[in-house]
């Protein structure tokens, strides 16, 4: 949809050289000259799509637990089955059909020998094969090519009829399932193919069947339609390849036909292009197929002429409507790889690219219908002979056609009608088409699975799916490939659009992005919603960070509260201990005073004890400090007394009673060996000459009123 014009000054000699250089770069002569090979190794490694195809077959059979591997494919150990269908390896070497995949999903009741016999009755040996099945109802969606009924339309094949009949599985207790044979071609085209041995089935030969024609035009009509659409968009777009805006033509009004000064005078309205009519026809046919399978539990066999263009469009679009899995990004990849790549849509021929055997049939050239502009015709369009004859020969030899683009356009129409049903967005579809046309990846090269394997595509070229997945990984769920409105629970089943809803419009994100850039942005609401979503994600991350910090602060506060509680308990215990010590001290003081002592406490905590000789006499005091024990365990006394020599007592001979130790240190009648010379009645009754002494308060603190010294 993009037109680039190179302008040269008059009599410039480099025009031919520039054109030849552009032609060499844009139309490589061989497959190996494509960028996917010439660009060197890609960091987006391509895993073998055969493994993914087998995994998809297993999912359809209800055996999702099975994971295929290259080893299993090489050993042929992938022929799994359930009660109705099986995976067959009859085409593992591509000997039966070179355009079919190596593994086929077939009815379990049909043997491989019967399958080979049935393939001979179909064009290019593309026999009926199951592409989607419903495990709950037993309904299937199958595809094939046209039957070879001959010019008289009377040829039959028992093997083919039995294979088609086996598509209608019989459920116990129910009547036989109905079979619809959907021919994508117009009826007249199907009859015309009879001259070349092809044609269509007869409902009389296939039990309980009905033949339906969808009237979808061939590849040449689609190519011409896209060319007219491109001319129309270029003519009436904001920017045009001739440098004139559509608003300046004919006084600012160019709608409604008339002679135009543009490069395409034959396209005056969008309806003249026919593109939207073709899109609507494909959508209507796919919706009809999906309705028959979902509502009637019927089986449908779809084919066209070769079974790789219109058939691929119909069966893949119907599968998209029937199965919610295909409406996810991963499921959409599986759908494209199964119904388009594995079943042999000729991408190289349709895109005008070279194949393994050599050049492509014809470059993908969307010729203009009636160019009246000032640009000269390209050298490819110039030559001897009449222009009409050359155009006719070109049309006959040109097999390029935007079939896959048209199918993606149909998907975009469904995405517009059901915005909650698809995980991917329109931007994902645009990037998919751009990657397909860029020749940067090997997924869409060649015409079949066999050719891609022969060319070593999987090992030599990068993988488109890995590249797109890498783009989404960078931004997560906020990436443009994700549909912001996707709700898997809202459409958790088949989508059956009514006929009135199938009114397609121009796909702005793809068709208008070069001619009408502002309109191509299209979804202002979607863009604003994506911006809000991104902002919401940032706020969500900030919220999570704040919650983390809050949790850390809460843990810190709890730790501090625990420490404070412990400190409070310790303080309470200390206060209780002080109260108990005060009570004990008061008790000891009263007990000591009852013995005739006067106890005085100094400010530094020491205790002075005085002993009264006679209450009427002035007491003579002798101050003696209680012994202390140093670090080495030596007992020493510090004395201040009138006695001429200090009194010391050995530690081992001192009684454990602290009051006895005090008495022994004060009394001069106490011997060194610890024996008292006075009677045992008690020293305090004899009014010792010692008047006063100084004792360590700690000794008194350890005293108790229950010591045996006081007795009963």
Strands 85-88 and 104-107: antiparallel
Which distant-in-sequence residues (6+ apart) come within 8 Å of 669 by Cβ?
Answer: 676, 677, 678, 683
Question: For every residue of 340-388, which 3-state class applies, written as one string?
Answer: HHHCCCCHHHHHCCCECCECCCCCCCCCCCCCCCCCCCCCCCCCCCCHH
Give the residue from 138, 128, 130 showing the smallest Cα distance to 164.
Answer: 128
Contact 401, 278 (CB under 8 A): no
Quickly tell me which residue has 């502009």 as its tokens: 373
The helix (H) or strand (E) run that includes residue 526 is helix 524-594
DSSP label of 124? G
Give the residue from 462, 467, 197 showing the smallest Cα distance to 306.
Answer: 197
Alpha-carbon span 412 to 299, nearest angstrom = 27
Return phi, psi of residue 45, to 5°. Answer: -65, 145
Contact 522, 425 (CB under 8 A): no
Give the residue from 167, 53, 174 showing the smallest Cα distance to 110.
Answer: 167
Dihedral (CA of 238, 239, 240, 246) sign: positive
The helix (H) or strand (E) run that includes residue 255 is none
Give the 3-state secondary structure of residue 475: helix
Alpha-carbon span 149 to 246, nearest angstrom = 53
Strands 209-213 and 628-629: unpaired
Contact 119, 113 (CB under 8 A): no
The catalytically annotated residue of 133, 168, 304, 607 is 304
Question: For every residue of 66-86, which 3-state class applies, written as one string?
Answer: CCCCHHHHHHCCCCCECCCEE
Alpha-carbon span 149 to 155, nearest angstrom = 4
Residue 572 half-sphere exposure toward CB, CA atoms < 13 A: 6
Q: Give catalytic status of residue 304 as yes or no.
A: yes
For the beta carbon of residue 197, count every other beta carbon within 10 angstroms.
14
> Looking at the annotation, which residues are catalytic?
304
């Amino acid at each position: 949809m993009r037109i680039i014009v190179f302008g040269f000054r008059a009599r410039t000699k480099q025009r031919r050289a520039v054109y030849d250089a552009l032609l060499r770069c844009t139309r490589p002569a061989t497959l190996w000259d494509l960028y996917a090979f010439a660009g060197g190794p890609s960091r987006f490694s391509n895993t073998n799509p055969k493994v993914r195809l087998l995994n998809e077959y297993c999912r359809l059979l209800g055996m999702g637990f099975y994971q295929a591997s290259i080893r299993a494919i090489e050993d042929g150990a992938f022929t799994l089955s359930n009660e109705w269908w099986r995976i067959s390896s009859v085409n593992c070497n591509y000997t039966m059909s070179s355009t079919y995949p190596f593994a086929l999903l077939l009815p379990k009741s049909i043997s491989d020998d019967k399958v080979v016999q049935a393939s001979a009755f179909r064009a290019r040996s593309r026999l009926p094969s199951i592409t989607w099945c419903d495990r709950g109802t037993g309904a299937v969606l199958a595809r094939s090519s046209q039957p070879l009924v001959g010019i008289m339309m009377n040829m039959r094949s028992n093997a083919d009829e039995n294979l088609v009949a086996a598509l209608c599985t019989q459920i116990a207790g129910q009547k036989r399932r109905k079979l619809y044979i959907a021919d994508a071609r117009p009826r007249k085209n199907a009859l015309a193919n009879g001259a070349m041995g092809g044609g269509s089935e007869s409902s009389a030969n296939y039990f309980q069947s009905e033949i339906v024609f969808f009237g979808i035009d061939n590849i040449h009509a689609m190519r011409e339609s896209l060319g007219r659409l491109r001319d129309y968009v270029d003519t009436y777009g904001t920017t045009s390849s001739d440098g004139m805006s559509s608003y300046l033509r004919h006084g600012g009004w160019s709608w409604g036909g008339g002679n135009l000064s543009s490069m395409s005078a034959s396209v005056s309205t969008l309806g003249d292009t026919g593109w939207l009519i073709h899109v609507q026809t494909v959508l209507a046919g796919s919706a009809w197929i999906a309705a028959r399978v979902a509502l009637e539990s019927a089986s449908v066999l779809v084919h066209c002429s070769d079974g790789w263009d219109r058939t691929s469009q119909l069966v893949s679009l119907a599968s998209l409507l029937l199965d919610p899995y295909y409406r996810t990004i991963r499921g959409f990849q599986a759908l494209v790889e199964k119904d388009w790549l594995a079943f042999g849509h000729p991408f190289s021929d349709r895109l005008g690219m070279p194949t393994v055997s050599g050049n492509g049939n014809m470059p993908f050239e969307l010729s203009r219908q009636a160019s009246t502009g000032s640009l000269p015709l390209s050298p490819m369009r110039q030559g001897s002979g009449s222009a009409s004859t050359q155009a006719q020969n070109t049309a006959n030899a040109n097999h390029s056609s935007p079939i896959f683009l048209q199918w993606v356009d149909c998907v975009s129409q469904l995405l517009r009608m059901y915005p909650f049903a698809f995980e991917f967005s329109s931007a994902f579809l645009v990037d998919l088409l751009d990657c397909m046309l860029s020749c940067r990846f090997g997924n869409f090269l060649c015409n079949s699975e066999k050719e891609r394997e022969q060319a070593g595509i999987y090992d030599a070229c990068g993988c488109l799916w890995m590249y797109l997945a890498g783009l989404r990984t960078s931004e997560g769920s906020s990436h443009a490939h994700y549909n912001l409105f996707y709700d898997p629970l809202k459409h958790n089943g088949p989508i059956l659009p009514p006929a009135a809803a199938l009114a397609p419009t121009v796909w702005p994100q793809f068709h208008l992005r070069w001619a009408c850039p502002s309109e191509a942005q299209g979804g202002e609401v979607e863009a604003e919603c994506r911006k809000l979503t991104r902002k919401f994600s940032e706020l969500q991350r900030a919220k999570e960070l704040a919650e983390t910090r809050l949790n850390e602060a809460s843990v810190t506060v709890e730790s501090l509260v625990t420490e404070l509680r412990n400190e409070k308990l310790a303080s309470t215990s200390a206060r209780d201990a002080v109260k108990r010590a005060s009570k004990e001290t008061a008790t000891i003081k009263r007990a000591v005073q009852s013995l005739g002592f006067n106890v005085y406490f100094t400010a530094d905590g020491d205790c002075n004890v005085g002993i009264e000789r006679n209450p009427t006499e002035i007491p003579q005091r002798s101050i003696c400090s209680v012994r202390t024990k140093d670090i080495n365990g030596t007992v020493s006394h510090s004395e201040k007394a009138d006695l001429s020599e200090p009194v010391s007592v050995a530690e081992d001979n001192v009684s454990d009673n602290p009051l006895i130790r005090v008495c022994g240190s004060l009394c001069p009648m106490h011997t060194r060996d610890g024996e008292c010379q006075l009677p045992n009645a008690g020293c305090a009754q004899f009014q010792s000459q010692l008047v006063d002494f100084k004792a360590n308060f700690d000794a008194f603190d350890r005293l108790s009123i229950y010591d045996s010294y006081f007795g009963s």
